[in-house]
Amino acid sequence: MAAAAPKIQRILLKLSGEALAGGKPYGFDRPAMQAVAEELRPVLAAGVQVGLVVGGGNLFRGLPAAADGADRATADYIGMLATVMNALALHEALETAGLPARVMSALAVTGVAEPFIRAKALAHLAKGRVVLFAGGTGNPYFTTDTAACVRALDIGAQLLLKSTKVDGVYDADPVLHPTASRYEQLDYDEVLQRHLGVMDATAVVLAREHGLPVRVFDMHSRGALARIVRGEAVGTLMSPSASDRSGR
Ligand code: UDP
């Protein structure tokens, strides 16, 4: 009997730069990138279209550099270029694993990546290629969480998947507080009011304004991504509240 069709046809996956560093404090870890490829493999095989935004925190972040006295906008451009380096590294790891992929950048770096053109991105996705969206939003003063929301909306993703170090959103840091409990579901305003730090506030507000559901999960949990696209409730879902859904 043929496998059941996935419930979700197009996703936007957000990985932090740290996800490419494995446990290292800086740089790349090849096994970590190969593990990303193995998590994507069954999802692509099921026919799900995958857009991916990768952060830059394993290489450079603008905010701490600005706190050290650097010009904020310049520091942010360096951070955006870090995301381009990450996208190139991950692209190579995916292709080596036999998964077709393309890098599209919001910043012009035409020697190494295509410019972001929405119609072309959609064409790549339709051909089963993972599209790695590099360069964040292309603007300083934003983060790649916001870029992930923008790209998810841009490509019409049904779900934004944000991978974190723990398996969802907790009411306290589960590393420091072993009794912390995980939320199954939250609405956007709860995330903002409780300062849950799932994503930066700009990203949460953007998701709220457009009713974009966001699932927070741990990519290191093997098979979690595949279970999510089959419709399983893995991690924590951030979505419109029941009252919003009823059109109040
Ligand atoms: N950045 C930016 N504009 C964007 C996205 C990212 O200026 O639209 C810069 C910002 O300096 C940020 C850095 O790129 O600190 C790396 O991105 P981020 O901190 O989101 O990476 P992550 O924490 O996900 O690894």
Q: Say what the pLDDT of residue 3 is.
A: 61
The answer to whether 117 touches 105, Cβ cutoff 8 Å, is no
| C-alpha span between 228 and 235 (Å, rounded) | 9
- 55 CB near ligand 1 (under 6 Å): yes
The answer to whether 130 touches 122, Cβ cutoff 8 Å, is no
DSSP track, 162-197: EE-SSSS-BSS-TTT-TT--B-SEE-HHHHHHTT--
- 76 CB near ligand 1 (under 6 Å): yes
The answer to whether 216 touches 168, Cβ cutoff 8 Å, is yes
Q: Residue ranges of the domains in the chain? A: 10-239
pLDDT over threshold 90, residue 243: no
Could you count the other beta carbons within 10 Å of the beta carbon of residue 114?
A: 16
Residue of 107, 91, 17 whose CA lies nearest to 55: 17
Tokens of 88: 């190139």
- 164 CB near ligand 1 (under 6 Å): no
The sign one gets for the Cα dihedral 17, 23, 27, 32 is negative
Query: What's the CATH superfamily of 10-239?
Result: Acetylglutamate kinase-like (3.40.1160.10)
Mean pLDDT of 13-17: 97
Q: Say what the pLDDT of residue 30 is.
A: 97
> pLDDT tens for residues 37-62?
999 999 999 999 999 999 999 999 99
Mean pLDDT of 147-151: 98
Look at 111-120, 140-149, 239-248 and tell me which has the smallest mean pLDDT: 239-248
The residue type found at 170 is: Y
- 86 CB near ligand 1 (under 6 Å): no
- 137 CB near ligand 1 (under 6 Å): yes
Which residue out of 80, 146, 160, 198 has the highest number of ligand 1 atoms within 8 Å of its CB and is therefore the one to mutate? 80
DSSP-assigned beta bridge partners for residue 52: 13, 132
**Ligand 1: distance of its center to the CA of 198 in Å?**
15
- 80 CB near ligand 1 (under 6 Å): yes
